[in-house]
Structure 1
Amino acid sequence: MILTRAELLPYKEGIYLWKYVPSLALSIIFLSIFGILSLAHTWRMFQHRLWFCLPFVVGGYLEATGCVGRVIARNDTSGLMPYIIQSIFLLVPPSLFAASIYMVLGRIIRGLGPRAVALSIIRPTWLTKVFVVGDISAFVIQAGGAGMTTSATQKDLGNTTVIVGLCVQIAFFGLFVLAAVIFDVRYRRGRDGFSAVDADTAQLRDGAVAARREPFDWAKLMMMLYATSALILVRCTFRIIEYIMGPEGYLLSNEWPLFVFDLTLMALVWPFSLSGILPRSSRFP
């Protein structure tokens, strides 16, 4: 039943989907933010043919859709569909953001040449495959768990499933960050002792490295990876704590933590990606 006035009503007799009435203003604000950013990235993705950014862009549209669910739920707290939409579509997008970030690191390493490839603890071709497969697994587990949380009989199982999915995501993301840091350190050390990419990249004169040109600003892209990774890891940690505390816990019983530790952090990922994941240089591989 759609109400003309915001009111907290039960889904069934004695069963409440919500612990509060969702904020219309905040939901619309974040709907606008994710909608505008997704459209901007879609345009840049097609402009530069950066198809590996597709998961990132899709994740943005899912975030916006999740906010739509909250807008609808404002006046329909007894409705199951708006609750399901916001539960699933706000939970899984970081997995899609991570998929594009994994592919960026592989392209950075390949773009810096064969000697850079040798410095990676995982070959770039396998790096993307391994982490994306892990990311897809986390995505499926979280989506399935979120769907079960709407069932009175499977709510506890759903919460546990979501926690498992988030832990899988953090585990793979942590390994990814470790691989990125190891490559970064090795490359920064090694580039002072050999021609990092090819003859156009560095010239050795009298045992010293002279003027060096690299095909793209790899250091800036690595900083982008670290920044976005930190934001996603903090957000996933928040979500784990949220589901461990359960539906009666403080985090799920109050709205502000979701906007501060999830939606705001995911919105902050986009400025980094706009300058990093979607670089203007056509030399980015």
Structure 2
Amino acid sequence: MDSTEGMFEFKLYRYTPSLGAAVLFLILFALITIYHLYQVIRLRSWYFLVFVFGGVFQVIGYICRALAHNDTNSIPIYSIGTIMILLAPPLYAASIYMTLGRLIKYLDAEALSIVPTRWLTLIFVIGDVVAFVMQAAGGGIMASGSLSAMNTGETVTIVGLAVQLAFFSVFIVTSTIFHWRIHHNPTERSLIKGQSKWTETTWVTVMGVLYVSSVLILVRSIFRLIEYAQGNAGYLISHEVFMYVFDSMLMFFTMVVMGFYHPSKLLNPGRMGRQSGDTTTQLHRLASA
């Protein structure tokens, strides 16, 4: 569908969506999402279902992009695909916010967080929800198909991306300050890590995963913000390769990293309950060594 007004022509796609790339990432996201669902069920870490939903959104999004290869004029296919891929990262972000809050409590380090833990998850998740709703609204407005709606939808989406970027930047600063503080003022539980291998899921590797995932999502958000700010005729949105490099690949790597050092291996309720007794035992062993 092309909408024209004056010299401007709005196009759903300024290229023919690659079928091969769409199918490839459809398969990749489907496999890693199934793995995360398995981990959630196995570890009973229901709080992490939000992350799984993000993977489901990606799968739906790339199904739509595959369909768009042979139907570039379908507004429903374009709208659903765009909205699903756009909204998956905020779901990843919500999971990351919840993970940091749980990790701080796990380490008995509430006093070291610059944001009280009872508010930390709530504040960032609320910001994430606002960004999520605005991006969803922007996508919904664009789905109406008129040129004015397309422009309005892009503006709303840009604001939603900016909100997400702002909250995520503050979150990274909050995480970094907490990590610095616990490094210089360790809690008893944070000391129980010395004999662990780098391949094991410990609070240190979980923090590392949060950093890596946060940076990947941050880079992706900056890319999307610039892409939408350039408008429908912009250079980035006109070349499909940029989306796959700065969105698809980065978000797939985010899911892979979170899967390798799955936070729930450390932070699920059963593990946290058992760890209380394990910590005391290990401290006695360290003291007597």
TM-score (norm 1): 0.85
Q: 1:19 is paired with a residue of what secondary structure?
A: coil
Contact 2:10 2:233 in 1 (8 A): no
Corresponding residue of 1:4:
none
- In structure 2, what is the equivalent of residue 80 of structure 1? 75
Mapped contact 1:22–1:73 kept (Cα < 8 A) = yes
Shift of 1:87: 1.0
- The one of 119, 131, 145 equivalent to 1:138 is 131
The whole-number CA distance in structure 2 between the counterparts of 1:59 and 1:17 is: 24
CA RMSD of superposed structures (Å): 2.1
Partner of 2:30 in structure 1? Answer: 35
Three-state SS of the structure 2 residue aligned to 1:182 is helix
Which stretches in structure 2 are left out of the alignment for 5+ residues?
274-289
- Residues in 2 aligned to 1:178 and 1:78: alpha-carbon distance in whole angstroms: 43
**Equivalences for 1:13-24 in 2 at 5 Å?**
16-24=11-19
Alignment of 1:47-196 (within 5 A): 47-113=42-108, 116-150=109-143, 151=145, 152-191=147-186, 196=188
Aligned residue among 242, 247, 271 for 2:232: 247
Distance 1:112 1:212, change over 3 A: farther
Alpha-carbon distance in 2 for matches of 1:130, 1:277: 24
Q: Which amino acid aligns with 1:224?
A: V
Q: Which amino acid counterpart does residue 241 of structure 2 have in structure 1? A: W
> Using the alignment, how far apart are the partners of 1:241 and 1:284 within structure 2?
41
Distance 1:12 1:93 in 2: 28
Deviation readout 1:53-106 (Å, 9 max, x if unpaired): 111100000011000111111111111111011110110110000000001001
3-state DSSP of counterpart to 2:178: helix
Q: By how many angstroms is 1:276 displaced?
A: 2.7
Contact 2:94 2:128 in 1 (8 A): yes
Q: Aligned pairs, how many?
A: 259
SS of equivalent to 1:252:
coil
Higher share in helix = 2
Cα distance in 2 for residues equivalent to 1:277 and 1:174 = 23
Which consecutive residues of structure 1, in runs of 5 or more, have no partner in the other structure?
1-9, 203-210
Q: What stretches of structure 1 move > 6 A for 4+ residues in a row?
A: none
Per the alignment, residue 278 of structure 2 pairs with: none
Distance 1:48 1:187 in 2: 27
Given the two structures, how large is their TM-score scaled by the length of structure 2?
Answer: 0.84
The equivalent residue for 2:262 is 277
Distance in 1 between residues matched to 2:106 and 2:230, nearest whole Å: 44
User: Percent identity, aligned pairs only?
Assistant: 39
Check whether the contact 1:101–1:277 (CA below 8 A) recurs between aligned residues. Answer: no
* Alignment-derived partner of residue 286 in structure 2: none
What letter matches 1:162 in structure 2? T
Judge conservation of contact 2:48–2:95 (CA < 8 Å) in 1: yes
Which amino acid in structure 2 is aligned with residue 141 of structure 1?
Answer: M
| Cα distance between partner residues in 2 of 1:63 and 1:220 | 26
Aligned partner letter, 2:206: L
Pairwise CA distance, 1:217? 1.4
